[in-house]
Amino acid sequence: MTYRVFVDGQEGTTGLRIHEYLAARADIEVLKIDADKRKDPAERSRLLNAADVAFLCLPDAASREAAFMINNPHTCLIDASTAHRTAPGWVFGLPELARGQRGAIQASKRISNPGCHSSAFILGVRPLVDAGLLPADTTVSATSITGYSGGGKSMIAEYEQQPLPAHLQAPRPYGLGLKHKHLPEMMAHTGLANPPVFMPIVSSFYKGLAVSVPLQLSQFKPGTTPEQVQAALAAHYEGERFISVKPLRDAAALEAGFFDVQACNDTNRVDIFVFASDTQVLLITRLDNLGKGASGAAVQSMNVHLGVEESLGLI
């Protein structure tokens, strides 16, 4: 069977990467809009309603507008923006989130694609809350270091100018107003009662992302050990194709003495690490911000929704 797919916002970073994933698939017919009609509401509406699956790779306001254009009950929308990640009637497009999530994605016609930072944070923290090891009222913090491609075309152009200005050569923390747009989904889909203190950092490499969550063992359920933390994550993701929980204090990850933020690049893989001492735990989750952090996740959700092999086009 052939499925018709339309990417609204096909010229953006996420849209272009989705097209790359779909290009070699015989089961997909990609509907394309003429360059001179990209902002034509009538043509966009026609293509959105002609599609079996439509990806929205647009700013939030434009995504909300596009969602209202749909009158075909058979069109499945997968929104890559922030607009619908905690909205009623929309299913969060993270199949590994919890038991039953795949069924919800398959049944829904409205799927919100997770953000890159929040994907890594949620995948690391949610299993610990679900297992009862990390109380929901725990106050946590998180730091995320990411490549500049997550900032879209303008940031990519800024970082790829030659010579690179000195102020762009060092890592740059941002979101210092503590109101980052991923915070609502980071709370809603982990079960945490309080928003994390979250500091994202962009640096002068193209892609790759790692979120670190530092915790005191005293913040966990009394008696919790680092071994139990790692085991809870391993049990939650047992059998998952795209998620690998590494051994406790994984020596291979630190063989050179430093953690490689980019080791999941060009894959849809997520690696989860637990480093620990006798009193502290450092949880690190690594992914490709353009893969499992954006376009790869969207294609994976499409595969789940359509009932085809989940890894199709992603390996």
Label residues 164-173 b or e (16+ Cβ within 10 Å = b): eeeebeeeee
The stretches of 131-249 forming alpha helices (DSSP H) are 152-159, 183-188, 226-236
Q: Which of 57, 76, 116, 264 does the annotation list as catalytic? A: 116
**DSSP 8-state code for residue 15:** H
Looking only at Cα atoms, what is the longest distance across the chain?
A: 63
Pairing between strand 243-245 and 197-203?
unpaired
Pairing between strand 3-8 and 53-56?
parallel
By CB neighbour count within 10 A (0-12 exposed, 13-18 middle, 19+ buried), where does 233 fall? buried
Q: Are 70 and 21 in contact (CB under 8 A)?
A: no
Is position 116 annotated as part of the catalytic site? yes
Enzyme catalytic residues: 116
